[in-house]
Amino acid sequence: MPTRVARLAFDLQSIPLNSFDIHTAPTLRRVTFSPFFRKNSMSSHLVNWTPKQFAALEEEIFHAQHNLHETGLFEDENLIRLFDLHPEVDFGINTMSTSNSTFAWREGDRNGVSSETLLELLHRGHLWVNLRNVRTHHPDVRKAIDSIYDELEANNPTFQAQNRSANLLISSPGAIVYYHLDVPVNMLWHIRGRKRAWVYPPFDTRFSPQEVVEKICAAEMVEDAPFDPSFDESAQIFDVEPGQLLTWPQLTPHRVENLHDGLCISLSTEHRNPRATRRINVHLANQFLRRKLGMPCRSFDVEGVSAHAKQAVARAVRGWNKITKSKTPQKNDYQVSFKVDPKSPQGFTLLEGAEEPVAPECRVA
């Protein structure tokens, strides 16, 4: 996983992008967390990976095992330290409805509460915290992330993880992330608690219409996508346990619900590479050619002469817009509508005059 499982803005060769926030998998033994990061106790964070799993990266929906939950990096004591040190500009606080049937994603204000209090509210309330860019801001987390990516690259010669980034997602029992898709390549490393994830067929316009994908890639629309409950009939459903990775191809739609088994923590890593960049350029070129020249342009294949030609078109249009300072539609971001409140059972209070969140199908620019 708004990447929410990935709510992080990052650049694909100056393309405006947003990324912000997954089969029932085998249950893993729960572990007792150490209060400190055991830096030299494990040379690899990947557990029992097979050649088939390495080969499936970016190609298939699959789960695998890791040991990040055993490092001690993500225990309460260390989370408080991360809260204290993390810059406000990359500190996201959200809440939402209690059911996927009602869309109510909200942005919040920390309201000056201490890190200890915020963590306590996450344990008992209905909040979702996104520490964006943890790889940039926290060297110990960066070391773990780079170790993982380096090992993935070493075991799959076609896999490239450029422009690496990550968000640390800490969320209350029962918190949910609505149906959405992430622009960068996304991998969800689950660490604490249990999540249930629905992952829908990738590159299938029944679940992510081409026009919606294009608007998300062009930053004209937030990552939340229109959802129909009938989509669930085609989803793969995963109960994700600590020590499991869940990943999927780029732009695959998915949604997530925390089970009521305590605080949930996941590390959402994101990266790009030439194929990921080309995929976005193809969508942007399709949008331009259809809007401006009336060409159908329905193929979003990323290989072959056509894909490379579309990438050239997207880059040319982007260069022209920069020269002419042309304005492009911008996504309608969520506005701050609540403040963290230790006196509230749910951990927050709506601001006076806060408007009701607007469903994704109504938020297209």
Mean pLDDT lowest for which of 16-25, 241-250, 270-279, 332-341?
Answer: 16-25
Instruction: Kindly report the backbone phi and psi dihedral angles of residue 306, in degrees, each rounded to the nearest multiple of 5, phi listed first.
Output: -60, -45
Residue 328 pLDDT: 66
27 located within any domain: no
Q: What is the mean pLDDT of residues 120-134?
A: 98
51 located within any domain: yes
Share of the chain above pLDDT 70, in %: 85
Mean pLDDT lowest for which of 197-201, 262-266, 353-357?
Answer: 353-357
- Ramachandran assignment for 48, one of left (phi > 0), alpha (psi -120 to 50 degrees), beta (any other): left
Residue 294 binned pLDDT confidence (cut-offs 50, 70, 90): very high
Residue 18 binned pLDDT confidence (cut-offs 50, 70, 90): very low
Q: What is the mean pLDDT of residues 146-152?
A: 98
Report whether pLDDT(162) > 70.
yes
Residue 25 binned pLDDT confidence (cut-offs 50, 70, 90): very low
Q: What is the CA radius of gyration of the chain?
A: 20
Could you tell me which residues come within 8 angstroms of residue 314 by beta carbon, excluding any fewer than 6 positions away?
A: 15, 280, 281, 282, 284, 285, 288
User: For residues 259 and 195, is the Cβ–Cβ distance under 8 A?
Assistant: yes
Instruction: Kindly report the backbone phi and psi dihedral angles of residue 94, in degrees, each rounded to the nearest multiple of 5, phi listed first.
Output: -135, 165
Share of the chain above pLDDT 90, in %: 76
Query: Distance (Å, rounded) from C-alpha 2 to C-alpha 225?
Result: 10
Query: Distance (Å, rounded) from C-alpha 285 to C-alpha 310?
Result: 5
292 located within any domain: no
Could you tell me which residues come within 8 angstroms of residue 217 by beta carbon, excluding any fewer than 6 positions away?
A: 15, 17, 183, 251, 280, 283, 284, 287
DSSP annotation of 41 reads S
Report whether pLDDT(303) > 80.
yes
Written as one string, the DSSP assignment of 300-324 is ---SSHHHHHHHHHHHHHHHHHHHH
What is the β-pairing status of strands 46-47 and 62-66?
antiparallel
Instruction: Kindly report the backbone phi and psi dihedral angles of residue 179, in degrees, each rounded to the nearest multiple of 5, phi listed first.
Output: -55, 125
Give the pair of three-digit tokens for residue 282: 């193809």
Instruction: Kindly report the backbone phi and psi dihedral angles of residue 97, in degrees, each rounded to the nearest multiple of 5, phi listed first.
Output: -70, 175
Query: Tokens 């996983």 belong to which residue?
Result: 1
40 located within any domain: no
Strands across the sheet with 236-240, in order? 176-180, 254-258, 195-199, 236-240
Assign residue 342 the CATH number of its domain.
2.60.120.10
Burial of 175 by CB count in 10 Å (0-12 exposed, 13-18 middle, 19+ buried)?
buried
User: For residues 215 and 364, is the Cβ–Cβ distance under 8 A?
Assistant: yes
Nearest partner of 276 among 37, 12, 47, judged by Cα: 12
62 located within any domain: yes
Q: What is the mean pLDDT of residues 43-69?
A: 96
Q: 166-181 pLDDT, tens per residue?
A: 999 999 999 999 999 9
Residue 330 binned pLDDT confidence (cut-offs 50, 70, 90): low
Return the higher-pLDDT residue of 121 and 101. Answer: 121
32 located within any domain: no
Report whether pLDDT(34) > 70.
no
User: For residues 151 and 236, is the Cβ–Cβ distance under 8 A?
Assistant: no
Residue 355 pLDDT: 86
Query: Distance (Å, rounded) from C-alpha 172 to C-alpha 127?
Result: 5
Total domains, the chain: 1
318 located within any domain: no
Residue 43 binned pLDDT confidence (cut-offs 50, 70, 90): confident
Range of the structural domain that residue 184 is part of: 46-208+225-273+333-362
Q: 185-215 pLDDT, tens per residue?
A: 999 999 999 999 999 999 999 999 999 999 9
Residue 333 pLDDT: 76
User: For residues 54 and 155, is the Cβ–Cβ distance under 8 A?
Assistant: yes
Q: What is the mean pLDDT of residues 130-136?
A: 98
Query: Distance (Å, rounded) from C-alpha 282 to C-alpha 302?
Result: 7
35 located within any domain: no
Nearest partner of 19 among 243, 169, 147, judged by Cα: 169
Query: Distance (Å, rounded) from C-alpha 321 to C-alpha 325?
Result: 5
Query: Tokens 């249990």 belong to which residue?
Result: 194
Longest CA span, the chain: 60
**N residues, the chain:** 365
**What is the chain's mean pLDDT, rounded?**
87
